[in-house]
Structure 1
Amino acid sequence: MYEDFVELLQSFELTPNTLALMGVGVGVLIIFYGLAGATAEPSPVTRRMRASRAKAAAGFDGQLIRAGDSTPSGLMKTVVPVSKERRSDIARKLAMAGKRGDHAVRNFFLVRSVLALCLPLLFIGFLLLNAAVDLPAPIAEFVSQIGRNDTLRILTVLVAAGFFAPSLWLKSRIEERQKAIRKAFPNTLDLLQVAVEAGLGFDAAMLRVAQEMSKTSPEISEEFIAAQQEINAGKERDRALRDMANRMGVEEVTAFVNVILQSMEFGTSVSRALTTYAAEMRLRRELRAQEKANRLPVQMSAVLATLMLPALLMISLTPTVIRYIRFFETY
Structure 2
Amino acid sequence: MLLLYISFFLFISLLVYSLLTFRTVKAAHRTKRIKAYFTSSYQVSDPIQGEEEPSFSYRVLAPLWKNMKRKYQRKWNKEKVDQLEIKLLQAGQPFGLSPVEFKIFQRILLFILPFIGGAFSFFLNGSMSLTTLLVLTGTVVAFILPKYYLKLKADNRSKLAVKELPDTLDLLTISLEGGLGFDSALSKVVSKKRGVLSKEFNRCLEEIRLGKTRKEALNAIIDRLSSEELKSLIYNIVQAEKLGVGMVKVLRVQTEEIREKRRQIAEEAAMKAPIKMMFPLVLFIFPTLFIILLGPAVLQFIDAF
TM (norm. structure 2) is 0.70
Cα deviation, 1:41-80, whole Å, max 9, x if unaligned, reads: xxxxxxxxxxxxxxxxxxxxxxxxxxxxxxx986416xx8
Distance 1:123 1:301, change over 3 A: closer
For 2:290 and 2:96, the matched residues in 1 are separated by: 63
Q: Corresponding residue for 1:189?
A: 169
Query: How far apart are residue 258 of structure 1 and its match?
Result: 1.3
Paired residues of 1:246 and 1:254 also in contact (CA < 8 A): no
TM (norm. structure 1) is 0.65
Q: Corresponding residue for 1:112?
A: 106
Q: Corresponding residue for 1:203?
A: 183
Structure 1 portions without partners, runs of 5+? 1-14, 27-71, 131-142
Kindly indicate whether residue 226 of structure 2 is the aligned counterpart of residue 249 of structure 1.
yes
Query: How far apart are residue 224 of structure 1 and its match?
Result: 0.6
Where do 1:274-285 residues align within 5 Å? 274-285=251-262
Paired residues of 2:190 and 2:201 also in contact (CA < 8 A): yes
Q: Corresponding residue for 2:16?
A: none
For 1:228 and 1:322, the matched residues in 2 are separated by: 78
Query: How far apart are residue 283 of structure 1 and its match?
Result: 2.1
For 1:115 and 1:73, the matched residues in 2 are separated by: 16
For 1:123 and 1:294, the matched residues in 2 are separated by: 45
Q: Secondary structure at the match of 2:263?
A: helix
Q: 2:155 aligns with which of 158, 167, 175?
A: 175
Cα deviation, 1:122-166, whole Å, max 9, x if unaligned, reads: 4455667x5xxxxxxxxxxxx12x011211211111122122211
Q: 1:230 aligns with which of 196, 207, 211?
A: 207
- Corresponding residue pairs, total: 248
Amino acid at match of 2:185: A
Q: Secondary structure at the match of 2:180?
A: coil
Q: Corresponding residue for 1:95?
A: 89
Paired residues of 2:69 and 2:101 also in contact (CA < 8 A): no
Distance 1:102 1:310, change over 3 A: closer
Q: Corresponding residue for 1:286?
A: 263
Paired residues of 2:85 and 2:99 also in contact (CA < 8 A): yes
Query: How far apart are residue 268 of structure 1 and its match?
Result: 1.2
Q: Corresponding residue for 2:243?
A: 266
Query: How far apart are residue 266 of structure 1 and its match?
Result: 1.4
Amino acid at match of 2:228: E
For 1:207 and 1:104, the matched residues in 2 are separated by: 28
Q: Secondary structure at the match of 1:234?
A: coil
Q: 1:212 aligns with which of 192, 208, 227?
A: 192
Distance 1:85 1:18, change over 3 A: closer
Q: Corresponding residue for 1:82?
A: 76
Q: Corresponding residue for 2:217?
A: 240
Distance 1:124 1:320, change over 3 A: closer
Query: How far apart are residue 209 of structure 1 and its match?
Result: 0.7
For 1:307 and 1:101, the matched residues in 2 are separated by: 42
Q: Corresponding residue for 1:300?
A: 277
Where do 1:302-321 residues align within 5 Å? 302-311=279-288, 315=293
Distance 1:100 1:85, change over 3 A: farther
Q: Secondary structure at the match of 2:145?
A: helix
Q: Corresponding residue for 2:60?
A: none
Distance 1:81 1:285, change over 3 A: farther
Query: How far apart are residue 81 of structure 1 and its match?
Result: 6.2
Task: State the Cα RMSD in Å.
Answer: 3.3
Amino acid at match of 2:144: F
Query: How far apart are residue 191 of structure 1 and its match?
Result: 0.9
Distance 1:190 1:20, change over 3 A: farther
For 1:127 and 1:16, the matched residues in 2 are separated by: 20
Query: How far apart are residue 117 of structure 1 and its match?
Result: 0.6
Query: Relative to structure 2, which stretch is displaced further, 309-318 or 200-209?
Result: 309-318
For 1:97 and 1:108, the matched residues in 2 are separated by: 12
Q: Secondary structure at the match of 2:179?
A: coil
Paired residues of 1:231 and 1:240 also in contact (CA < 8 A): yes
Paired residues of 1:112 and 1:164 also in contact (CA < 8 A): no
For 1:96 and 1:81, the matched residues in 2 are separated by: 24
Query: How far apart are residue 244 of structure 1 and its match?
Result: 0.8
